[in-house]
Amino acid sequence: MNRVVTAAGDRFAAGHVGELTRIVPFEMVDAALAETGTTQRRVRALPSRVVVYLLLAAALFADLGYPQVWTHMIAGLDLDPGDAGAGRVRVPSASALCQARRRIGAAPLRALFDLLRGPAGGPRTRGLWWRGLLICAIDGTQMCVPDSPANLAVYRRGGGHHGGTGYPMLRLVALVCCGTRTVIEAAFGSDRRSETAMTTGPSGLTAAMRPGMIVLADRHYGYAPTITALAATGADLLIRVRNNHRYRVEQYLPDGSFLSQIGSLPVRVVRVNVTIRTTAGRRCETYQLVTTVRDPSCSVLELARLYHQRWEIETSYFELKSTILRGRVLRARTPQGIDQEVYALLVTYQALRIAIADALAERPDLDPDRASFTIALTTARAQLTAAAGVLANPVDLIGVIGRRVLDALLPARRARTSPRVVKRAISNYTVKTSQNRVRGPSRTYTVEINTLAADDA
């Protein structure tokens, strides 16, 4: 049986990412290259479009070098040996691939990310909206970069009592849509800059915040200058602040919360005590939340449950760092290459999330939490190696990735809890500070939320 593979011809044949090419099509890549002035001036052995797809494919195969990634890109191309262009699709040298990546830089990848970023959901998508507001979260994370002299001039090693981290650290902050876990905006750079500076500073996350959103954030953002800067975007806020922060009571509401002000910003302060009970015992913690939602019809319980959705951004970071990268250090040995690689990673992650969202659009009754990111990733890898689904099929709108996700839905999320500890994704050994906790079973729990008065916190 013969299999027909439809892709670009001649030197452009290797330029694809399998079925994800439907989401990042040739025309989009060409537009990003034209916008950034990085289209090749003459037809090269490695055209700029092909190099962009190489970078995206490398994000799918984080454990492979670029020459090995290239072999996956051409493995499924059934080229006629008698075709004059067939001989041109060969494995370039590592040096040629390096020069091609340097030639295009990070700008076209940033332009691609700008074209793809966004919530990728619809009015009927479950978990996307709360009282007509798009549920979003902001937070930061860190990734390791190679300790080359060029990288060490920009990035620094983490501190510690035993020599610090082995690799320099990159800080990434993102604004994520909690319902679909898609990225709305991201910024990154040296960890010499704080999360709040990357969020509220020039080219930060606030440029993407707008009215119609409610943005969730943890205590790191719970200070007056940051809260007022975020509120100036017009987005509603729900931010956890430190329990020892005290706010002047202007008016008590019937549910025990009270109205106050942070500077000239009117806010509502919610204090609750959350008790979690399992077969191993119980744990209590006090939460103090500040929100711009002052409507009394919105109860304290509703706000406390909404804040729990902030954990979706932690899942997004887990998918990026553990599922895709598997805890590995980034490849690039120059700061410019790091910029290029991180944007390629964000574009690929966003494309996978869009593919999942498109599949779930056929089933609005399903919670997006039930879609397996791992299945989408492994299917995308297989489709790339097979060079399958490169061009859109008007009959098959969700594609193989979408069907595999729908065929293997995760169970509905259960009320289970386990200790929060640091895990090493590529280590067989348990961190000493988490012995007897990492591999223990999670437990079902019941939760009790009680409102605290202003004087009880």
385 with 11: CB under 8 angstroms?
no
What's the Rg (C-alpha) of the chain? 24
Q: Residue 437 — left, alpha, or beta (φ > 0 → left; ψ -120 to 50 → alpha)? A: alpha
- Residue 431 DSSP SS3: coil
The answer to which of 38-47, 115-124, 282-291 has the lowest mean pLDDT is 38-47
Average pLDDT over residues 162-177: 86
Cβ-based burial of 442 (10 A; exposed 0-12, middle 13-18, buried ≥19):
exposed
Task: Report whether pLDDT(70) > 80.
Answer: yes
Report CA-CA distances (Å) from 271 to 59, 239, 244, 301, 453: 43, 12, 11, 10, 7
DSSP class of 125: -
3 pLDDT band, cuts 50/70/90, is very low
Higher pLDDT, 252 or 12: 252
Q: How far apart are the C-alpha atoms of 318 and 193, rounded to whole Å?
A: 22
Tens of pLDDT, residue by residue over 243-256, are: 999 999 999 999 99
DSSP E strand stretches across 86-229: 129-130, 133-144, 156-157, 168-177, 183-190, 213-217
Distance of CA 445 to the CA centre of its chain: 28
Q: How far apart are the C-alpha atoms of 331 and 67, rounded to whole Å?
A: 13
Q: What is the DSSP string of 316-327?
A: HHHIIIIIISTT
The answer to which of 55-59, 75-79, 112-116, 435-439 has the lowest mean pLDDT is 435-439
Residue 79: predicted pLDDT: 57
456 with 256: CB under 8 angstroms?
no
Residue 84 has a CB neighbour count (10 Å cut-off) of 8
DSSP class of 295: -
Residue 151: predicted pLDDT: 96
The answer to which of 74-83, 97-106, 371-380 has the lowest mean pLDDT is 74-83
446 pLDDT band, cuts 50/70/90, is confident
168 with 151: CB under 8 angstroms?
yes
Amino acid type, 114: D
Average pLDDT over residues 367-385: 95
Crossing angle (nearest 10°) for helices 48-60 and 107-116: 70
Tens of pLDDT, residue by residue over 424-438, are: 555 555 555 545 444
DSSP E strand stretches across 305-438: 416-417
Average pLDDT over residues 63-68: 94
The answer to which of 73-82, 126-135, 241-250 has the lowest mean pLDDT is 73-82
DSSP E strand stretches across 201-302: 213-217, 236-241, 251-252, 258-262, 265-278, 281-291
- Residue 56 DSSP SS3: helix
What is the percent of the chain with per-residue pLDDT over 90, rounded to a whole number? 69
Residue 168: predicted pLDDT: 93
17 with 60: CB under 8 angstroms?
yes
Residue 82: predicted pLDDT: 46
Task: Report whether pLDDT(156) > 50.
Answer: yes
CA quadruple 349, 22, 49, 66: dihedral positive or negative?
Answer: positive
185 pLDDT band, cuts 50/70/90, is very high
Q: How far apart are the C-alpha atoms of 391 and 154, rounded to whole Å?
A: 40
Q: What is the DSSP string of 434-447?
A: GTTTTTSPPEE-EE
451 with 279: CB under 8 angstroms?
no
213 with 235: CB under 8 angstroms?
yes
Q: How far apart are the C-alpha atoms of 32 and 319, rounded to whole Å?
A: 26
